[in-house]
Structure 1
Amino acid sequence: MGSRVLSLRVEAELLERIQRHAAKRGMSVQDYVVRTLIRDDFDERFKTSVDETERFYRGSAIEAGAAIEAPGAT
């Protein structure tokens, strides 16, 4: 996998906060920002997966409930 450049313009105060957070973890600003973006992307994908799983099982439960309510209905 190759890499590309992403350039951001950030307010000085925000950059200082990011630098402090990165320094606490012994990371460069670049590594800290990339790791944060990766974590946020994972969280979003994980939440989407959980939501889809809940919809799937909710639909299965509704279908199962309908089958239980009308066992002779075909």
Structure 2
Amino acid sequence: MTSKVLSLRMDSDLFDRLHTHAAKRGMSVQDYVVRALVRDDFDERLQTSVEETERFFASAASSVSSRRTAT
């Protein structure tokens, strides 16, 4: 896997807050931000999977119920 560089510009208040949160976890600010981004990406992908699963089962249930009424 290759890595890329992402540069962020943020105000000092935000950086200080991130630094405090990262220090509580024994992490660098960079690692803390990357971990937050990865977690957010996972949450987004999980939510999409849940929604797709719900649509699948809803369509399967309506298909079964339409077969029952047709007979």
Aligned-pair Cα RMSD in Å: 0.6
Q: Secondary structure at the match of 1:22?
A: helix
Task: Verify: 1:35 aligned to 2:35, yes or no.
Answer: yes
**In the alignment, what sits opposite 2:56?**
56
SS in 2 for 1:16: helix
Please report how far the alpha carbon of residue 3 of structure 1 lies from its aligned counterpart in structure 2 after TM superposition: 1.0
Partner of 1:17: 17
Q: TM-score, normalised by structure 1?
A: 0.92
Runs of 4+ in structure 1 over 6 Å off: none
Q: How many residues align?
A: 71
Structure with bigger helix share is: 2
Q: CA deviation at 1:70?
A: 1.5
Whole-angstrom distance in 2 between the partners of 1:46 and 1:32: 21
Percent identity of the aligned residues?
59
Which protein shows a greater Rg? 1
| Unpaired runs of at least 5, structure 1 | none
In the alignment, the residues of structure 2 paired with residue 21 and residue 69 of structure 1 have an alpha-carbon distance, to the nearest angstrom, of 58
